[in-house]
Structure 1
Amino acid sequence: MSVYRIVCAANRKRFTGEVVLGIRHWDAFMHKLDTEGDPVEQGFITNRGEFVDRHTAWCIAEEAGQIIRRVGGDEANGGTLYSENLY
C-alpha cells in the first residue's frame, strides 16, 4: 500500500462541490475563485484524489514526513496545513 500523502493545494466550492487544484491557495488563479460568488473551502488533495480540509491535511503531511517548514499553523486546531509547510 502506498503512503498517504498531500499532493497540492485545493479549493472546493461550497455550493457546487467543484474542486480546483492550484500551487498555492492565494495565487492569482485560486484568489479569483474566491471572488466568483460561490464561497470556497481551502484544503488539499491527497495522492488518492481526495479533498481534505487543512487540519486533516496537517495530520496526513505530518505522518508522511512532508512538513519541511514551520509557518505558524502547528498549534491551530491541532495542526493546520499551509502550502508553505510543504514547499
Structure 2
Amino acid sequence: MAQSVQPGDINTQTGTNMKDLSVDPPCGVRDPKETVLLAVTCDTFQFGQEDTNNDRNEWTNTPAAAAKQFHREWFQGNGNRKNAPLEYNP
C-alpha cells in the first residue's frame, strides 16, 4: 500500500551520475501541489550499452518549519523519499 505524504514543502534533487545528466533547476524547494518544469539534458552516449536503470529524480519532505532554502542534508539518513525514474527517447 502506498504511503501517504504529510503536507509540507517538497525538495527535489537529481539522484544519478551527474556527469551524464544535467537538470535545470538542479535542486529546489517546492510548495505542495506546485508545478515545476524540469529540463533534463544528457551527454551523448550509446543507449542500451550503459545502465540507465538508476537515473532518477528524488524528492523528500522538508523538516517542519524549514526555510525555503535547499539543504542536501535532507536527503541523507532516514526519511520518506520518492524516486521518479527518468525515461529516455533514444
Instruction: Assess same fold via TM > 0.5.
Output: no
Normalised TM-score (structure 1): 0.27
Structure with higher Rg: it is: 2
Normalised TM-score (structure 2): 0.27
The structure carrying a bigger strand percent of its residues is 2
